[in-house]
Amino acid sequence: MAVREVLKYPNDILKQDAADVTELTEEVKQIIQDLKDTMLDAGHSTGIAAPQIGQLKRIITIDASLNKKCKENHGFMVMINPEIIEHSGTVTSREGCMSVPDFTGNVTRAERIVVSYFDENMQQNVLETSGFEAILIQHETDHLNGMLFIDRVISKRTDLFRRKKY
């Protein structure tokens, strides 16, 4: 088990593109384990992306079931090279992120997505999901493209908030 430090903005790694994973090396397996350990150690986190622990690889881990209000979800998942291939609808929620600890922001995202990805065995899968789990995947996938939620806040005075507590 290895809990890694979660990088915080303005660390420059968070603003860089992550590289595709081409094979399941020992390094990749270790990153997956570290992501899982770090996510669970944080206590309040439902997902994490490899750049958040300093690894510029296209890997995320999520567990929408850690949000008690999320009734329909697929539990813990590893997604390698995730790509959102279809989306529909919009939903606005207020997001917080471990890498931007002082703020929360209103972000509008797709309500329903179809995502293609490779699992921890490098088997290709396609998942259709909606609601909180879809928001979670979009948020974490953004990290792979150097995007933070504050990049998606519309420049309106009511959209960015100093965090109430953590």
Partner 1 sequence: MDRQHYYALSFVNTDSKGIVADTTKVLFDNGFNLADSSSTLLQGVFSMIFIVTNDKDYKEQEIKDMFKNVRSHMEVFKFDKKPEKNDNGSHYSISVYGADKAGIVHAITDEIAKNNLNIIDLQTKITGGSPKVYIMILEVVSDNENNENIWQEALKKTAKEINTQINIKKIEFYEL
Just list the catalytic residues.
Answer: 140
Q: Smallest distance, Å, CB 33 to partner 1?
A: 21
Q: Smallest distance, Å, CB 26 to partner 1?
A: 29
Give the separation between CA 123 and CA 51, rounded to whole angstroms. Answer: 22
Q: Smallest distance, Å, CB 24 to partner 1?
A: 26
Give the separation between CA 9 and CA 52, rounded to whole angstroms. Answer: 10
Which residue, 3 or 24, is less far from partner 1 as judged by CB? 3
Give the separation between CA 132 and CA 153, rounded to whole angstroms. Answer: 18
Site for partner 1 in 17-76 (CB under 8 A): 44-47, 67
Region class of 121: left (phi > 0), else alpha (psi between -120 and 50), else beta: alpha
Among 139, 141, 144, 153, binds partner 1 (CB under 8 A): 139
Q: Distance from CA of residue 103 to its chain's centroid?
A: 17
The contact set with partner 1 (CB under 8 A) reads: 44-47, 67, 93-97, 104, 132, 135-136, 139-140, 149, 157-158, 162, 164-165
